[in-house]
Structures are given as C-alpha cells and as structure tokens.
Amino acid sequence: MQKKQANNVVIKNKRARFEYHLMDTYVAGIQLGGTEIKSIRASKASILEAFCVIENDEVFIRNMHIAEYSNASFYQHKPKADRKLLLNRREITKLKKGLETKGFTIVPLRLFINEKGLAKLEIALAQGKKLFDKRQSLKEKDDKRAMDRVKKEFKT
C-alpha cells in the first residue's frame, strides 16, 4: 500500500499580520474548477491583494490571483474571478455581525492544501492598524531579533 505524499503548498499573506489586528480566524474550503486547483498545487497563486465579501449570505473572495494552468487545453479559468468560500451558516453569521462593526474586514491569511488534497483558505476577521501600531510592531520585531542574536552569542 502506497502512502500519499504530503503536499507542502502554503501561500501566505505576510502583509495581513502587519496591516491588521486579527480577531477571529476561520478555515474555509474554496469552490474551484479543474485548472484552478492544478495551478494552486503548482504554487501559482497569490492572496496578497485579496479580500472577502458577503453577498446573499454567501462569502466570496475577490482579487485572488490564480495563474492560468500551462498544460490546459482551450478551457482556462479567469485568473482574478470571484470564488465562493465554503463555510457553515454559523460562521457566516458571526462574520456578518463582525463586519457591521466599523473598521472591520475579512482578510485571507494563507492558502494551503490539506491532508485530503483539498484547497483550504484561512481567513480572519480583522481591524486595520493605525500608523503608530505598525511602528510598534516593527519595534517589537527588531527587539526580538536583537534578543535572538544575543542568545545565540551566549550559546556558543
């Protein structure tokens, strides 16, 4: 019996943690076509400029770029089409209530392939940071890096 190889595709949105305070996170499935999943498995996708919206009690991700699959025939998907996220009703109502609060949005954090081979998207209800919050984040990051350097010097 052969073991299924683990697919290590993880596409991250590194700017999200810098730009937003993350409140609640959810893992959602994505409704994709055949060539879209093949491009994601080849790591040919980007969620850097993507965001989520709720329309008719359904959650969609907009502006997510999935490159066209090079080995496909005449049928290709649209690279920046809206894609439906698969969440249950309770999660959608929580997100809806969160969006009613001023300054909140839904941002994608990472796109990955799970153990079963399905594409999943981790999203978060987030609030935008102010400029001084971003400066504080940079300061904490620099301080942590300096502490790690000092610890490394004392170990050797």
pTM of the model: 0.77
pLDDT in tens, 47-105: 999 999 999 999 999 999 888 887 767 777 778 888 999 999 999 999 999 888 888 89
Report the residue count for the chain: 156
b vs e for 115-126, b when ≥16 Cβ sit within 10 Å of the residue's Cβ? eeeebbbbbbbb
Distance of alpha carbon 140 from alpha carbon 13, whole angstroms: 20
pLDDT reported for residue 4? 52
Amino acid, single-letter form, for residue 84: K
Residues 6+ apart with CB under 8 A from 46: 11, 64, 65
User: Helix/strand/coil (H, E, C) string of 37-59?
Assistant: HHHHHCCCEECCCCEEEEECCEE
Cβ atoms of 32 and 83 within 8 Å: the answer is: yes
Beta bridge partners of 104: 127
Residue range 10-129, CATH number = 2.40.280.10
pLDDT in tens, 11-54: 888 888 888 888 899 999 999 877 888 888 888 889 999 999 99
Closest listed residue to residue 57, CA positions, set 21, 95, 106: 95
